[in-house]
Amino acid sequence: MLISRKLAAAFNEQIGHELGAELQYLAIAAYFDRRHLKLLSKLFFAQADEEKQHALKFVHYILDTQGDLQIPAIPAPKPTFASAEEAAAAALKWEEEVTGQINKLMAQAVEETDYMAQSFLQWFIDEQLEEVVKMDRLLSIIRQSGERNLLMVEAYLVHVEQ
Cα–Cα distance list, 94 to 33, 71, 119 (Å): 21, 20, 24
Which ranges of the chain would DSSP assign to H, the alpha helix? Answer: 5-34, 38-64, 84-111, 115-145, 150-161
| Nearer to ligand FEO (CB atom), residue 11 or residue 145 | 11
Query: Could you give phi then psi for residue 72, rounded to 5 degrees?
Result: -80, 170
Single out the residue of 8, 24, 40, 51 in contact with ligand FEO (rule: CB under 6 A): 51
Rule CB under 6 A: is residue 154 a binding residue for ligand FEO?
A: no
Rule CB under 6 A: is residue 114 a binding residue for ligand FEO?
A: no
| Nearer to ligand FEO (CB atom), residue 51 or residue 114 | 51
Residues of this chain, 81-100, that bind ligand FEO according to CB under 6 A: 95, 98
3-state secondary structure of 2: coil
| Nearer to ligand FEO (CB atom), residue 30 or residue 152 | 30
Chain residues that interact with ligand FEO, rule: CB under 6 A: 18, 21, 51, 54, 95, 98, 131
